[in-house]
Amino acid sequence: MNGPNEKIIAITGASSGIGAATARELAARGATVLLGARRTDRLDELVAGIRADGGRAEALAVDVTRRADLQRLVDRAVEGHGRLDVLVSNAGIARVAPMTDLDVDDWEAMIDVNLRGVLHGISAALPLFRRQGRGHFVTTASTSGLKIVPTQAVYAGVKNAVRTTMEALRQESTDGSVRTTTISPGYVRTELVDHVEDPVRRAQYRQNMAELGIGPDAVARAIAFAVEQPDDVEIGDIVLRPTRQD
């Protein structure tokens, strides 16, 4: 098997949901995971649990809207382990509303976290990956970027931008030094919609997630599948959704 075993893997948005599940999955497979998020209390709890199970994990306060935070995460990997093999850019937020609501602050927040956060990760890790001659970017997008629906215009647009960016980076990296993988999940039981302001929409999304959603561990296994491939194999895109999602 080509498992993650000795790989050094950094994960953003690691304090809950897909990020936390991915941390546990990869650590269980032998990787050393460096976990970044804003909620450090949750990170500390996650790290303690991974270590109690015999895994290797570290935590670092990371706000992906701050470029310096991503650089610190990458630097921590190099200082502590001599390299970084994989960067999983998972931090994300969702705000849904009709365009006519003009929720400009929410638009900017999604751009800052969901797109600019990914770009900050690329800017921090790409020079290192080039120097190393190898590295892997794994980025969480969404099926919302594939099927456009009302109230998700900006969220879908940003996720589409992430997919486009990763595909362009893939085409620029055919020398084999950098691999890219975009994961596009459908409904997953996470906290993603907890901050949707409209209570009716929030309740509807929560109901959809509860009734249709798959567990975040399913996404974690997909990420592990992409990561465990040999260096000459690139899993460019993975779309996974509940079987009952339209």
**What token pair was written down for 188?**
């997953």
Catalytic position from the list 107, 155, 187, 205: 155
Angle between helices 117-132 and 67-81 (to 10 degrees): 30
The label of the residue with tokens 């109690």 reads 52
β-sheet bridge partners, residue 22: none
33, 99, 241 from 106: Cα distances, Å:
31, 11, 26
- Region of 214 (left: φ > 0; alpha: ψ -120 to 50; beta: rest) is beta
Number of C-beta neighbours around residue 147 at 10 A: 13
Annotation says 187 is catalytic: no
Cα–Cα distance measured from residue 70 to residue 84, given in angstroms and rounded to the nearest whole number: 13
Q: What are the backbone angles phi and psi of residue 216, rounded to the nearest 5°?
A: -60, -20
Q: Which of 182, 183, 210 is nearest to 194 (CA)?
A: 210
Residue 214 DSSP label: B
Write out the catalytic residue numbers. 155
